[in-house]
Amino acid sequence: MAIPTTSTGAPALVYLRDQFMAAADPARSAALATAAETLIAQNRTTAVAGPLEAVALLIVSIVMLKGVFPKAVTYLGVATGVLGISAEALRMVFEGFYVFYGVLLPIWMGAVGWNPYQLGRSSGQVPVVQSTLSPLGSDTTEKKVQ
């Protein structure tokens, strides 16, 4: 089915249109029209995975602000997360937001994957986060490079 591979289901709608035009039976035409309306309605419904991915990206980026990642990468993630949430919220009104979100998302993912590699190669050492026991008995984390 075309839904998993295209967000608007255009190939499936083209097929249904062609079948509708070729149908001689009114009952068949009505069934094809109903199928097309169902496909359109299903594609306009916001999926759960899209908004959750954008929210998760935003949360991860905010957490990265206190880590070893460059600030440019973390701010790119924050901007991408906010844009992703906006794209999901405005999905039915303005589908063009997905173009920007779709470009920024793999750029951010590549930067996140590239930075640990660069950190390890540039210093010869990988930053290690060690857990130490605080005087109050709860665990705290301190950044130490070994």
Structural domain contains residue 3: no
* 35 and 53 both lie in a single domain: no
Residue 110: the pLDDT is 93
Is 118 or 101 the better-scoring residue by pLDDT?
101
Cα angle value 58/47/51 (rounded, 5°): 10
Range of the domain at 118: 49-144
Most confident of 75-84, 112-121, 124-133: 75-84
* 127 and 109 both lie in a single domain: yes
Helix (H) or strand (E) holding 143: strand 139-144
What are the φ/ψ torsions at residue 43 (nearest 5 degrees)?
Answer: -75, -20
Structural domain contains residue 107: yes
Helix (H) or strand (E) holding 10: helix 10-22
Our count of domains for the chain comes to 2
- Of the pLDDT bands very low, low, confident and very high (cuts 50, 70, 90), residue 130 is low
pLDDT single digits (tens) 23-52: 999 999 999 999 888 887 776 665 677 888
pTM over 0.75: no
Residue type, 92: M
